[in-house]
């Protein structure tokens, strides 16, 4: 009997937890199993209370000296500790390959002969001053982040990103050899229907806002757009799922707070909203490759959003949705949407194209097949070296 290839899956929590990374880690885990791999979970980011206190002291000292923010996830002392712990755990593992999604600190100083497959939806350097949580760092903290990411990229035998936006940056900024870098788009984390349902676009039109971050996902712009369209006498409504906006407008917006995908009933609610909406509308301010847009495609929902980050990897403007510039205001979104509402056949074409994109590339079966090819290549390459 042929021994299964065993993957050491690095993750802070169990890869069976559907809450981690909006269910993306769980889907990757399932995709590995579907490809016939054996998966061993290797926990990371497990520190003692003494270590955590030491890390906090370093953070406070940096803030005091530089009077700037500090990247608490990526600094030398923590990376050394994380790499040492991982090295110890890997000694007990007979895994053939290490799968390291987003974990640059853990592999930056790792010493191992096992091939490393690194995955992310962006480089952390791209996120500096792009995401709110990665903004305002002092110069030393930013340089350290770049140093650790570069070290991790050098340690990795292959890098996989979910968009060409991220992949190109790793090559252009970090000078990673292009042959080490691949683009494999993420799939939908929702259960997709066998086929999309026919919808009418003459009655009330529902725009789905599916996200936990109201501000970063452009919630206020979306709400203002809906208000403008209602003033123009279009029967439209914004359905918010996943967060509680700081504003209330019962006429223009319906709100369902956070739903837990680990709960079957709540997960079904999310599927129902995807099934019953007409568009997904999130004019995001900063994003890499939003999983919710892949979910929209699986239900044939055209996406209306912003051409920023890696969004264009999952939404083709004019073909599966509409992407406007980051500078676009609510009035411009309203104008673009109004053109669609006047042309139901165009909406149906966008819907069909979105579902086709899901079937061809935005699903975890395709992701698993492509990632399996990379793993096979890395293992052959490793055997050749031995």
Query: In the chain, which ranges are E strands?
Result: 6-11, 38-43, 97-101, 116-120, 158-161, 181-183, 205-210, 236-241, 253-256, 279-281, 303-306, 321-324
Contact assessment for residue 238 and residue 346, using Cβ atoms and an 8 Å cutoff: no
pTM (2 d.p.):
0.94
**pLDDT tens per residue across span 228-280:** 999 999 999 999 999 999 999 999 999 998 887 778 888 889 999 999 999 99
Most distant CA atoms of the chain, gap in Å: 71
Q: Find all residues with CB under 8 Å of 386, minimum gap 6, and list them.
A: none
What mean pLDDT is predicted for residues 28-54? 96
Count Cβ atoms below 10 Å from residue 216 Cβ, excluding itself: 16
pLDDT tens digits, one per residue of 356-376? 999 999 999 999 999 999 999
pLDDT, mean of residues 110-118: 96
Place of tokens 């000078």: 175
Q: Report phi then psi at 175, rounded to 5.
A: 60, 35
Domains of the chain with CATH codes: 6-187+363-385 (3.40.50.2000), 205-360 (3.40.50.2000)
Q: State how far the Cα of 342 lies from the Cα of 225, in Å rounded to an integer.
A: 16
| pLDDT tens readout for residues 182-239 | 999 999 998 899 999 889 888 899 999 999 999 999 999 999 999 999 999 999 999 9
């Amino acid at each position: 009997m042929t021994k299964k290839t065993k993957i050491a899956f690095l993750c802070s929590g169990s890869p069976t937890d559907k809450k981690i990374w909006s269910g993306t880690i769980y889907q990757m885990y399932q995709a590995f199993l579907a490809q016939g791999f054996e998966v061993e979970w290797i926990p990371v980011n497990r520190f003692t209370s003494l270590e955590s206190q030491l890390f906090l002291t370093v953070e406070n000292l940096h803030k005091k000296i530089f009077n700037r923010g500090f990247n608490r996830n990526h600094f030398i002392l923590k990376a050394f500790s994380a790499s040492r712990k991982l090295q110890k755990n890997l000694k007990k593992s007979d895994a053939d390959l290490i799968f390291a999604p987003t974990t640059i600190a853990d592999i930056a100083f790792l010493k191992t002969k096992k091939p490393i497959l690194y995955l992310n939806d962006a480089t952390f350097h791209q996120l500096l001053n792009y995401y709110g949580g990665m903004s305002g760092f002092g110069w030393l903290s930013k340089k350290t982040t770049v140093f650790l990411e570069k070290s991790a990229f050098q340690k990795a035998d292959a890098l996989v990103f979910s968009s060409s936006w991220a992949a190109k940056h790793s090559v252009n900024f970090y000078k990673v050899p292009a042959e080490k870098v691949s683009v494999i788009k993420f799939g939908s984390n929702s259960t997709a229907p066998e086929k999309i349902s026919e919808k009418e676009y003459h009655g009330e039109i529902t725009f789905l806002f599916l996200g936990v971050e109201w501000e970063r996902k452009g919630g206020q712009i979306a709400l203002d757009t809906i208000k403008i369209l209602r003033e123009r006498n279009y029967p439209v409504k914004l359905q918010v799922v996943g967060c509680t906006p700081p504003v209330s407008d019962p006429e223009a917006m319906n709100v369902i707070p956070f739903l837990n995908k680990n709960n079957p009933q709540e997960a079904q609610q999310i599927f129902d909203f995807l099934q019953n909406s007409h568009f997904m509308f999130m004019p995001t301010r900063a994003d890499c490759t939003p999983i919710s847009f892949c979910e929209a495609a699986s239900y044939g929902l055209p996406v209306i959003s912003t051409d920023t980050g890696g969004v264009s990897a999952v939404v083709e403007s004019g073909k599966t949705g509409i992407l406007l510039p980051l500078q676009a205001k609510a009035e411009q979104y309203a104008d673009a949407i109004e053109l669609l509402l006047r042309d139901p056949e165009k909406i149906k074409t966008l819907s069909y194209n979105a579902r086709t994109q899901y079937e061809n590339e935005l699903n975890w079966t395709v992701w698993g097949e492509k990632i399996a090819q990379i793993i096979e290549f890395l293992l052959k390459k490793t055997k050749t070296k031995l």
